[in-house]
Amino acid sequence: MRLFYPYMLILISALSLVNAFTAVKAPAGYLVETVTIPEGITLGVGGLAFDQHGVLYVTTREGQVWRHKGDQWQLFADGMHEVLGIYIDQVSDEVWVMQRPELTKLIDQDGDGRADIYRTVSAEWGLTDNYHEYAFGLVRDQDGNFYGTLNTSLSWAGWAGSSKWDIGRVHDGKMGRAARYRGWSFRVTPQGEFTPWSMGMRSPAGIGMNRHGEIFYTDNQGDWNGSSTLQQITKGRFHGHPSSLMDHPDFQGKDLNAISVEDYRQMRTPPSVFFIHGDLANSPGEPVFDETGGRFGPFEDQIFVGDQTRSNLMRICLEKVQGQYQGAIFNFIDGLQSGVVRNQFDSQGTLYVGQTGRGWRSAGEKIFGLQTVRWDHQTTPVEILAIGLTPEGFELRFTQPMDSQLLASTEQYAIEHWEYLYRPEYGSPKAGKIQAQIEKITLSHGGMRALLHMPLLEGRVYQIQLKGMRAASGGPLTNPMGWYTLNKRRLNERF
């Protein structure tokens, strides 16, 4: 297949270093670069994927799909309705995209580099003209099934400006369900058969799958979501926002307002990880797994995810405790140029970061953009590698040996914990904040691990701050803070 044609748009673009003139704060060894987007292209990024030839496909909120490699940009598809996800088969290079109204296969039948068939694969979910009814995607399992997520409707007339979407609000929450399957994830088979998959989502702006086929999504803070979350998607799971239950067969004809918040709490599976609203993230996007085989540094199998508002990248490590995933979140890079919503690794282990800030604004002033994060393949950053549980307390692992005197000193740690309340109100305070005390500290692995012996409480988010911690080689931690979502204590097995 010829990739680019003589008449296509060829423009000079260059990777320009941005570290010099914006306030990028990244761990040592990580370099942020900005991809120059040619004049005239509006690239409000909604989806990123590479084909097997290393061509990056960028789908946009404006309804286009651009192909990009080197200095070249080519319009592959146009005229769609807000494309917020894409999947490319790594053998056949077939392209599927998530538009607001449907899952679409894009086919370039005549091979001129421009899609000519827009094949509807599934459009089984309900859609009104409510701006909040986004459709996000797209991941695919080894059997060829696609998975995506569907936003709730903005139903409260006070914000929506009309009562026409005021259907399915529960206990005076702000979001509802003005059409079927709003607030659900779904599966679509290769034959196009649609199955509603899990429910209780609010604003599930990003979906990602790891090498084991496990699917995770991020949800945004708001009603029923005390803070933004990372959650695992499994069939039939209830994630917590009740409006979607209108489309569950067990709740047909039932009054969702007659079910108590406590009963909903019992039904829901708590999130794997809370993002810390305000401190870390206000509206997280796509979680992408580092499966680069070490080409992106020491964080193999961890999740990288950005935030639309704070224009930062974060890092998440997960572990299974009592059968469910939970884990810790850290900040990673601050000061990106626009709101971060999509991430993809290329075959070299460079992370492409797709951005849009329009409508909600972001700390980075640019309205849209594309940046890359590259590891120099040499420098070991000074970071908390992971936080996990042992039956005794937290185990902290570091990317390199730490100053053992500091590491062993309880003075160096400040730990507090709180609860995010599950409730229909918009967001939650950090409720019931408690300062925790470390009983003793055991070091191992030559100062690369510290076990903090302490009693732990379930249903809490722990903030662990390492105030003056330094590596044995002298450098301070770039991100000296981690937050662990402790749904369950570890009883006997090891971290």
Residues that bind another protein (CB under 8 A): 23, 25, 42, 44, 61-63, 78-82, 99-102, 104-105, 110, 116-120, 123, 127-129, 131, 159, 174, 276-280, 282, 309-311, 331, 334-335, 339, 357-365, 367, 426-427, 463, 465, 481
Residue with tokens 């996990």: 388
CA distance 424 to 171: 6
**CA-based radius of gyration for the chain:** 23
- CB-based contacts of 164, cutoff 8 Å, min separation 6: 128, 178
Nearer to another protein by C-beta: 9 or 15?
9
CA distance 316 to 483: 10
Q: Kindly tell me the burial class for residue 160, based on how many C-beta atoms sit within 10 Å of its own C-beta (0-12, 13-18, 19 or more).
A: buried
Nearer to another protein by C-beta: 161 or 323?
161
Nearer to another protein by C-beta: 268 or 310?
310
The least distance separating another protein from the CB of residue 175, rounded to whole angstroms, comes to 10
Nearer to another protein by C-beta: 83 or 451?
83
Residue with tokens 């990777």: 15
The least distance separating another protein from the CB of residue 282, rounded to whole angstroms, comes to 7
Q: Quick one: tokens of 145?
A: 């099934």
Q: How far apart are the first and last CA of the chain?
A: 48
Nearer to another protein by C-beta: 382 or 451?
382
The least distance separating another protein from the CB of residue 70, rounded to whole angstroms, comes to 27
Nearer to another protein by C-beta: 53 or 81?
81
Report the 10 Å Cβ neighbour count for 112: 12
The least distance separating another protein from the CB of residue 309, rounded to whole angstroms, comes to 5
The least distance separating another protein from the CB of residue 296, rounded to whole angstroms, comes to 23
- CB-based contacts of 195, cutoff 8 Å, min separation 6: 186, 187, 188, 189
Q: Kindly tell me the burial class for residue 79, based on how many C-beta atoms sit within 10 Å of its own C-beta (0-12, 13-18, 19 or more).
A: exposed
For residue 133, give the DSSP letter: -
Q: How crowded is the C-beta side of 430, counted as CA atoms within 13 Å?
A: 17
Where are the extended beta strands (E) located within 322-429?
Answer: 324-333, 340-345, 351-356, 368-375, 384-390, 393-398, 413-420
Nearer to another protein by C-beta: 244 or 362?
362
The least distance separating another protein from the CB of residue 116, rounded to whole angstroms, comes to 5
Nearer to another protein by C-beta: 231 or 309?
309
Report the 10 Å Cβ neighbour count for 67: 21
Nearer to another protein by C-beta: 102 or 319?
102
Q: Quick one: tokens of 457?
A: 């409480």
Report the 10 Å Cβ neighbour count for 281: 27
Report the 10 Å Cβ neighbour count for 25: 15
CA distance 344 to 48: 6
SS3 158: helix
Among the listed residues 33, 34, 67, the one whose alpha carbon sits nearest the alpha carbon of residue 51: 67
Nearer to another protein by C-beta: 200 or 339?
339
Nearer to another protein by C-beta: 193 or 439?
193
Among the listed residues 82, 207, 58, the one whose alpha carbon sits nearest the alpha carbon of residue 133: 82
